[in-house]
C-alpha cells in the first residue's frame, strides 16, 4: 500500500490510500494505522472502489487503527468495497479518541458485481467496529454474513433485497445536536433507504439500496452537506 497527499479543497490535509496490489485476494492481510496529532485535520480516502476477489478458502483480513489527539479531526472516507462471489473478508476498525476530538467514519459495501448481475451464492463478510472515547467504549458493532449472502440479504429483516449498504458514524462534542438537521436532509433522499439516530455522544446514519449508484447519489450530497466542504477529488474522478 502507498499513501499520497494531493492538494485538497478542504481546510485540512487529504490523504489517499492506494492499494498497489489492485485488490484484496484470499489470505491477504492489510493493516492501516492513522494518527491525527493535536489540532490536526485530515481526511483519508481511496482512489476507487476496493475489490475483494473470490477465495478458494483462506480469509482475507483488513485491520484499521485510528488514533486522534486533543481537538483533532479525522474523516475516514474510503470509497465502496465490492465483494465478489465467494469472497471471504474479515475487517476490523478500532478507534481511540479524546472527548475534544471529531471523528467521521463512512464505509460502503457492495455485495456482488452489478455489471455482471453477480450474486454472492457463498461467502463471508465480517465487519467489526469499536470506538473508544477517553478510554470508554462508546460504540460497538459487528456485522457477520456467512454462506448464501444473497439469500440472506433478501430477507426483510436483513437487507430487503439491498445489495449496497453503508454506515456513517460521527463522534464529536456536537454529534447528538445535529440529529434533526440530518434527518431533515435524509427526508429528501430518493432511491435509497436511509435513517439516522443519535446517542452516547455520537450520530449514526445507515444507507441501504439495491444499487451502488443509488447509494452514492444519496450519500455524496449528504457527506458534502454534513462536512461543510467538498469531498476529496478522488471521489469524483
pLDDT 10s digits, 46-58: 999 999 999 999 9
pLDDT score at 178 = 96
Provide mean pLDDT across the span 65-87: 97
Measured CA to CA, the distance from residue 165 to residue 179 in angstroms comes to: 20
In a domain, 26, yes or no: yes
**Is 70 within 8 Å of 100 (Cβ atoms)?**
yes
| C-alpha dist (Å) from residue 19 to 4, 6, 22, 126 | 11, 16, 6, 20
Structure confidence at residue 168 as a pLDDT band (50, 70, 90): very high
Residues whose CB falls within 8 Å of the CB of residue 151, separated by 6 or more in sequence, listed in order:
none
Over residues 138-161, the mean pLDDT reads 94
**Domain enclosing residue 72, as ranges:** 2-227
Report the percent of the chain where pLDDT is more than 90: 86
Give residue 8's pLDDT.
73
Task: Specify which residues 225 forms β-bridges with.
Answer: none
161 located within any domain: yes
**Is residue 232 included in any domain, yes or no?**
no
**Domain-embedded: residue 233:** no
- Cα–Cα distance measured from residue 113 to residue 26, given in angstroms and rounded to the nearest whole number: 17
Q: How many CA atoms lie within 13 A of 37 on its CB side?
A: 1
Give the pLDDT of residue 30: 95
The conformation of residue 161, written as its DSSP 8-state character, comes to: T
Residue 194 maps to a domain: yes
- pTM tops 0.85, yes or no: yes
Tell me the C-alpha distance between 126 and 92, whole Å: 8
Dihedrals phi, psi of 36, to nearest 5 degrees: -100, 115
Q: What is the pLDDT of residues 207-225, one digit of tens each?
A: 999 999 999 999 999 999 9
pLDDT higher than 90, residue 7: no
Task: pLDDT band for 162, please (50, 70, 90 cuts).
Answer: very high
Q: How far is 221 from 92, CA to CA, in rounded Å? A: 27
Domain assignment of residue 141, yes or no: yes
| Residue 30 falls inside a structural domain | yes
Q: List the one residue out of 36, 171, 201, 216 whose CA is nearest residue 224.
A: 216
User: 197 in a domain, yes or no?
Assistant: yes
* Mean pLDDT, residues 136-157: 95
Q: Does 9 have pLDDT greater than 80?
A: no
Number of compact structural domains in the chain: 1
Q: Which helix (H) or strand (E) holds 65?
A: strand 60-68
**Cβ–Cβ < 8 Å for 81, 110:** yes
pLDDT class for 116, splitting at 50, 70, 90?
confident
Segment 118-126 mean pLDDT: 95
Apex 31 CA angle, 229 and 201, nearest 5: 45
pLDDT > 80? residue 237 = no
Amino acid at each position: 500500500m502507498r499513501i499520497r497527499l494531493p492538494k485538497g479543497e478542504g481546510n485540512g490535509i487529504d490523504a489517499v490510500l492506494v492499494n498497489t496490489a489492485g485488490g484484496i485476494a484470499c489470505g491477504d492481510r492489510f493493516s492501516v494505522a492513522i494518527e491525527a496529532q493535536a489540532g490536526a485535520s485530515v481526511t483519508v480516502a481511496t482512489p476507487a472502489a476496493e475489490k475483494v476477489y473470490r477465495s478458494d478458502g483462506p480469509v482475507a483480513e483488513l485491520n484499521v487503527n485510528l488514533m486522534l489527539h486533543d481537538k483533532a479531526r479525522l474523516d475516514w472516507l474510503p470509497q465502496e468495497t465490492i465483494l465478489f462471489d465467494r469472497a471471504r473478508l474479515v475487517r476490523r476498525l478500532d478507534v481511540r479518541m479524546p472527548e475534544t476530538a471529531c471523528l467521521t467514519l463512512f464505509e460502503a459495501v457492495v455485495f456482488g458485481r452489478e455489471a455482471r448481475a453477480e450474486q454472492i451464492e457463498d461467502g463471508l463478510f465480517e465487519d467489526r467496529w469499536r470506538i473508544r472515547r477517553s478510554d470508554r467504549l462508546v460504540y460497538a458493532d459487528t456485522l457477520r454474513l456467512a454462506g448464501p449472502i444473497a439469500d440472506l440479504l433478501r430477507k426483510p429483516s436483513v437487507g430487503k433485497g439491498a445489495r449496497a449498504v453503508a454506515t456513517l458514524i460521527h463522534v464529536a462534542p456536537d454529534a447528538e445536536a445535529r440529529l434533526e438537521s440530518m434527518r431533515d436532509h435524509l427526508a429528501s433522499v430518493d432511491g435509497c433507504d436511509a435513517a439516522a439516530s443519535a446517542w452516547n455522544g455520537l450520530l449514526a446514519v445507515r444507507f441501504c439500496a439495491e444499487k451502488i449508484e443509488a447509494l452514492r447519489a444519496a450519500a455524496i450530497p449528504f457527506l458534502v452537506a454534513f462536512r461543510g466542504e467538498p469531498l476529496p477529488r478522488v471521489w469524483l474522478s
